[in-house]
Amino acid sequence: MIDAGTGEARERLETALGVRRWVDEVAAGGPYPTLEALTAAVDGTGATLTDAELDEAVSHHPRIGASEVNGLAVGEQAGLGRADEGVDAAIARGNEVYEQRFGRVFLIRAAGRTRQEVLDELQRRLKNDPAEETVEAKQQLREIAAQRLTALFGDAR
Give the model confidence (pLDDT) of 119-156 as tens digits: 999 999 999 999 999 999 999 998 899 899 999 998 76
Check: CB of residue 77 under 8 Å from CB of residue 65. yes
Check: CB of residue 64 under 8 Å from CB of residue 108. yes
Instruction: Choose between 45 and 23: higher pLDDT.
Output: 23
CATH superfamily of 7-156: Oxo-4-hydroxy-4-carboxy-5-ureidoimidazoline decarboxylase (1.10.3330.10)
Q: How many CB atoms lie within 10 A of CB 129?
A: 7
Query: CA-to-CA distance for 43 and 134, rounded, in angstroms?
Result: 16
- What is the residue type of 78? A
Sequence-separated (6 or more) residues with CB below 8 Å from residue 133: 102, 125
pTM of the model: 0.83
| Per-residue pLDDT tens digits for 63-107 | 777 655 445 554 555 556 677 789 999 999 999 999 999 999 999
